[in-house]
Structure 1
Amino acid sequence: MTGGGTPDEIAALQAGIAVCRLCRDAPARAGDVLPHAPRPVAVLSRTARILIAGQAPGLRVHESGLPFNDASGDRLRLWLDVSREEFYDPSKFAIVPMGFCFPGYDAHGSDLPPRRECAPLWRARVIAAMPQVELVLAIGQYAQAWHLGAAKSASMTETVRDWRRHLGRNERPAVLPLPHPSWRNTGWLKRNPWFEVEVLPELRKRVKTLTD
């Protein structure tokens, strides 16, 4: 297996992300200040061949500092068919959301979108430091927009439904679009049974191949 960035490069990026306070000190939109103390959450790796590209930490993840340490993570691990130990092994999975900090809630009690400051500052550098990644799991519309660009469809549903085309593109790393594993998407999963029938077997096959 070919490694990615040097240990020093990965460590420097990880340390830089950990102390980043851009959304607090220089928000992209005037007055749009993070409503709590920043706590960036990301797991970089120089050996993992799978990158989990999510949206942003939720409150429980913000409190624990552990990505996907919630019900969404339980469902995601079920989709991947991996244990918690395997999931949190940085030699197997890198976990880098579009926004590193919990963005807070909107007026309806839903998580706000990922902060605008993170991706422009960090994402290209992080991806460049992990050239060994062979598969990106693009979870939700924000990660899909960044990793698929113009290939993304107008809706998340259509983007995920078109998963075969995205995987079949002659590009590296391959990108597999997924819905967010949040409990809020339980209705979506019931309305789209093809996801569990068609996508999950392919997802699990690739995860097993890339983590063995």
Structure 2
Amino acid sequence: MSGCPSTESLHAEIKTCTICSTHLPLGPRPIVQFSSRSRILIIGQAPGTKVHASGVPWDDDSGDRLRDWLGLEEEAFYDPNKVALMPMGFCYPGKTKGGDAPPRKECAPAWHDRILGKLPRGRLTLLVGTFAQAQYLPQAKKLSLTERVRQGQHQSEALGPVIPLPHPSWRVRMWMKRNPWYEEEVLPALRQRVAQI
């Protein structure tokens, strides 16, 4: 996670963040990856328990699926000079009845703009899942996830051009069966774009 001193100091500051520690069942462990040269930005949801334990972003089945979608090997995916990984919540938020709790709302306002200010212009930004899309594509809120993904590239006021993707959890398999165009059309184009970058 190298970069200019200001990027390194921002990493150090994030690492010691306790802004919502009283709400975190496993305590704070902010997990993020970026450098001043990241050419791809992936904004996801929040770490799960496995990622919290390892401290490595997307270190689970969802990450395996996401890397497959992008056509990226782990070496490239975990190179901050190539890929920035900035979830909506940097720490594991706990459980709810239906699975993991939503990302803590304190996190993105505290850190996102500061990280975005360190990233290069002209990067490819991927919004993975509904939480990231709700934050950065408010004009597309009335669209379903399927409609947002099917439309392809959108314009975000804060990020510029972005591509929305479904969250790659195990639940996405049923969605992909119902929407074969995603595998047939969207993923090949996405892999080509990532490879060009």
Kept in 2: contact 1:135–1:173 (CA 8 A): no
For residues 110-149 of structure 1, what are the structure 2 equivalents within 5 Å?
Answer: 110-149=99-138
8 Å contact from structure 2 (residues 38, 84) kept in 1: yes
Distance 1:62 1:123, change over 3 A: same
Q: Give 1:150's aligned residue.
A: 139
Alignment counterpart, residue 43 of structure 1, candidates 33, 44, 58: 33
How far did residue 149 of structure 1 move?
2.6
Q: In 1, distance between residues paired with 2:16 and 2:167?
A: 27
Corresponding residue for residue 77 of structure 2: 87
Instruction: Tell whether 2:176 aligns with 1:189.
Output: yes
Where do 5+ consecutive residues of structure 1 fail to align?
1-5, 26-32
1:2-26 deviation line (CA, Å, top 9, x unaligned): xxxx61121121111111001125x
Of residues 182, 187, 195 in structure 2, which corresponds to 1:200? 187
Contact 1:144 1:177 (8 Å CA) reproduced: yes
TM-score normalised according to structure 1 size: 0.86
Quick one: distance in 2 between partners of 1:180 and 1:107? 18
Residue 10 of structure 2 is aligned to residue 23 of structure 1: no
Partner of 2:58: 68
Identify if the C-alpha distance between structure 1 residues 170 and 104 changes in structure 2 by more than 3 Å, giving closer, same or farther.
Answer: closer
Q: CA RMSD in A?
A: 1.9
Q: 1:49 to 1:153 in 2, by over 3 A?
A: farther
Cα offsets for 1:100-127 (capped at 9, x unmatched): 001111124x011111110111111111
Partner of 1:13: 10
Q: Among residues 162, 166, 184, which one is paired with 1:175 in the alignment?
A: 162
Task: Work out the CA distance in 2 between the residues paired with 1:171 and 1:123.
Answer: 10
State the SS of the aligned residue for 1:39: coil
Look up the equivalent residue of 2:53 and give its one-letter code.
Answer: E
Distance 1:157-1:20 versus aligned 2 partners, 3 A rule: same
How many residue pairs match? The answer is 195
Task: Note the C-alpha offset of 1:170.
Answer: 10
Counterpart residue number, 2:152: 163
| Structure 2: 5+ residue stretches without partners | none
2:95 matched to 1:105? yes
Q: TM-score, normalised by structure 2?
A: 0.92
Quote the offset at 1:152 in angstroms: 4.2
Distance in structure 2 (CA, Å) of the matches to 1:170 and 1:115: 22
3-state DSSP of counterpart to 2:100: coil
